Amino acid sequence: MVILITGISSGFGKAMAEALSAEGHKVYGTHRHAREFIPGVEYIKADATDEVQVEAAVRRVTDAEGRIDVFINNAGMGIGGPLEFSSLEDARTQMDVNWMGMVRFLHHIVPLMRRQHGGKIICISSIGGLMGLPYQGLYSASKFAIEGYCEALRLELQDFGIKVVVIEPGDFSTNFTATRKCVDTPEARQAYPSFDRSMRSIEKDERNGMKPEALARKICRIAAAKNPRYTYIIASPLQKLAVLAKTLLPPRLFARVLSLYYRL
């Protein structure tokens, strides 16, 4: 299969590119500043926020291969901090990368897959797209947007043989923690005493999280599946339980559970 993955410099993207290439697929991946290159993977320098670069990246694959069988939207970033102290520019940046970046690629991918009468779209969301996480509100909002967009897209494309799959990872040990932008000012810390201890708890969970290779192995199976599920939660048993709890508990009680967990 011909596979295009966004954001393969590190983390999930790098692990997926390596695993899918090892299985014999022709893998193309976009990056902004890759320092290590996987043999056999075609690297395309493209920023998901740049429409011209996005269009050129898709065209490069189609010019070479004539088709894209699987598109994996993975490129993303996180902005943490109290929403009150997050600027409008922070909000625009978060949505532009995580949600609009996906939309830009799909603007070119969807017509291609309709013309070729099939394909698979796999979008990396988060369990943060299923529940609003404290001090990660902008990130959660961007992932909620992915969830809603893909839910609608799946219905619209069901008659064209195009599968739309959403992946909802929990905590994983990647460089996401180190690269997260944090709205961290003395004013924010003074106004929100729980901010520091909550972020320490979040970062500890991330550092002790699953390895990205575990997600990559799952993606290999999903990419090859004839009829994949609509969504896959790839997370620890506790985090899967939290997702289930949100559907079962009254909203006020679930909010209390999150408050205790995140030390608010």
DSSP state of 132: P
Domain boundaries, the chain: 2-261
Q: What does the pLDDT look like over 37-69, one tens digit per residue?
A: 899 999 999 999 999 999 999 999 999 999 999
| Catalytic hit among 26, 143, 192, 198 | 143
Calculate the CA dihedral of residues 26, 230, 134, 175 and round it to 10 degrees.
-20
Burial of 91 (0-12, 13-18, 19+ CB in 10 A): middle
| pLDDT top residue among 205 and 55 | 55
The verdict on whether 230 is a catalytic residue reads: no
Annotated catalytic, 139? yes
pTM of the model: 0.94
**Long-range contacts, stretch 41-44, CB < 8 angstroms, 24+ apart:** 41/8, 41/17, 43/8
Position 225 pLDDT exceeds 80: yes
Catalytic residue among 28, 139, 149, 192: 139
Catalytic residue status for 28: no
pLDDT category of residue 259 using cuts at 50, 70 and 90:
very high
Please state whether 118 falls in left (phi above 0), alpha (psi between -120 and 50) or beta. Answer: left
Count of CB atoms within 10 A of residue 196's CB? Answer: 14
Residue from 10, 21, 125, 198 carrying the catalytic annotation: 125
Mean pLDDT along residues 116-127? 97
pLDDT in tens, 5-17: 999 999 999 999 9
- Per-residue confidence band for 185, with pLDDT thresholds at 50, 70 and 90: confident
Q: Assess whether 9 carries a catalytic annotation.
A: yes
Answer whether residue 77 shows pLDDT above 90: yes
| Domain 2-261 in CATH 3.30.530.20 | no
Which among 9, 31, 3, 51 is positioned nearest to 176, based on CA atoms? 9
pLDDT mean over 11-24: 96
Q: Taking the CA atoms of the chain, what radius of gyration do you get in angstroms?
A: 18
Mean pLDDT over the full length of the chain: 95
Confidence of residue 201 (pLDDT cuts 50, 70, 90): confident
